[in-house]
Amino acid sequence: MKVFTAEQIRSWDQFTISEEPVSSVQLMERASMEAAHWISENAKNYKKMVLFCGNGNNGGDGLAIARMLYIKGFDVDVFVNDPKGKFSEDALINLKRLRDISGITVRKFSEVNQYSMDDKAVIIDALFGTGLSRPLEGIHKMLVEQLNEKKNIRISIDVPSGLSADALFDDNATVLKADYTLSFQCWKRSFLHPETGKYTGKVVVLNIGLSEKYNSIIETRYFVTDDQLIESVFKPRQDFSHKGNYGKVAIIGGSYGKIGAAVLATRSALKAGAGLTFTVAPECGYEILQTTCPEAMFIKGGENYVKDFDEYEGMILGIGPGLGTHQETEAGLLHFLKNNRMPLILDADALNIISKDQDNIRMIPEKTIITPHPKEFERLFGSTKNSFQRLELAKEKAKELHIYIVLKDHHTQIITPQEHVFYNITGNAGLAKGGSGDILTGILTSLLAQGYSEEEACILGVWLHGKAADIASEKHSKESMLPTEVIDELGAVFKELNNKKLL
């Protein structure tokens, strides 16, 4: 799914209006109908709906939703700044339609303090949409602060009020903290970053029938990894095939006390479908690896830590899980990087070793996939003020070094050398445990060995990792799920993908 800017979304609306043709107020009615339907289906246990509507088109959506919810049998109250104030043309039409319904009371924002709202009422935020260009101030700021103090369920229409669609206004900006955000047609970038995404709650994207032609011809560098993209990337295993068709993987990692990381990466590489899997690890991990991963072959790389690195001809290498940063490991890795030009997957301690000297970064082979979490990224490329700036720096470095950066976060970002960004929306907070990154390294290495391109391996691998984690969290909870249980659920994800290909 493409992610468009607020300006592009406005153009999308106008293109749809001229292309169908449909009037702007009819398009507003269509969007409001989808939102009202979702609310009525998902809030059946709530009787009261209280809508807060601005003077622009987002407020117009809210006024139309209020009318539709009333017709569906809900008790509805509406608040606006001033019923006699200036509204957008389409919002004014919906305000007039609302006034024709005697059962709905339209109040002023200034009356909120005197209004009795019990905890079973649902607050619907339609104050500002994608057109907001500066932080909230004045009466709107005060109103949102009041609403944030309520214990009620809060639903935002299109964008939580106070939030920019595309950027971060200010660390101290007032934003409505929604439990649900009903976003029209597509995700917004601000939903996908930690500083701003924390305000959206669960995001539900509603298809309001905007022009598919516009969607196909307008270019963007930002995408959300959705099911449609994954189904286009995934390659089912062919019946008349053998292990040689699915590549050779070598996981290089582990050290005394950290053999578990190598085990997790090896097991996930096996479970993700590699034809042959090897583990290059110190001898101290031999028995552990041969016992826990009998399907993989062991190559000794040292005694208590890996010091011997090789190209291992014909293999795709995933380097870093539990590797440690011992002096001989560091020397061996840097010597290897200096002489190797084949793409790799680099994670964890491999990145920590490289980050010790900026000259080392130039030794990363082109087309390599690196998988830093924010702190590892900072060690490699320097600090930034927020995740938006971090992403811009990642785009710059991916282009400069011609590498793929998997920037791990709540919504992990995949950045290509062409500066395309794919936001992943699978996964959950249960992955916030040691070992989760090791699993991802194994999956990525396995997919690359199977013939997926670097971009495809990143997109599919990160999605698989998150999807398996979602299944694991449903079974065990986010608190109790373990990385090994995420590996166990990869089979369920592949089964689902294969079933979709058969339909």
pLDDT of 49 above 80: yes
In a domain, 213, yes or no: yes
Give me the mean pLDDT over the 351-372 stretch: 97
pLDDT of 267 above 90: yes
Which among 322, 305, 309, 310 has a CA at the least distance from the CA of 266?
Answer: 322
188 and 265 part of one domain: no
In a domain, 1, yes or no: no
Collapsed DSSP state (helix, strand, coil) of residue 237:
coil
- Which residue type sits at 182? L
Last residue of a domain, one of 179, 199, 220: 220
Q: Where are the beta strands (DSSP E) in 393-497?
A: 404-407, 413-415, 421-424
Give me the mean pLDDT over the 91-112 stretch: 94
Give me the mean pLDDT over the 158-182 stretch: 95
Rounded Cα distance, 431 and 367, in Å: 27
196 and 271 part of one domain: no
Across the chain, mean pLDDT equals 96
238: DSSP letter: P
Interval 216-235: pLDDT, tens: 999 999 999 999 999 999 99
Q: Taking the complete model, does pTM exceed 0.85, yes or no?
A: yes
DSSP-H helix ranges across 219-366:
227-233, 259-271, 286-292, 327-339, 348-354, 358-361
**pLDDT-above-90 percentage for the chain:** 96
Give me the mean pLDDT over the 361-371 stretch: 97
- What pLDDT was estimated at residue 305? 97
184 and 267 part of one domain: no
Interval 385-398: pLDDT, tens: 999 999 999 999 99
- What pLDDT was estimated at residue 126? 98
208 and 284 part of one domain: no
Residue 257: domain span: 231-502
214 and 242 part of one domain: no
Interval 284-324: pLDDT, tens: 999 999 999 999 999 999 999 999 998 888 999 999 999 99
How many helices (H) and strands (E) in the chain? Answer: 19, 17
- Number of domains within the chain: 2
Interval 394-433: pLDDT, tens: 999 999 999 999 999 999 999 999 999 999 999 999 999 9
Are 304 and 282 contacting, i.e. CB atoms less than 8 angstroms apart? yes
Categorize the per-residue pLDDT at 503 as very low, low, confident or very high, splitting at 50, 70 and 90: low
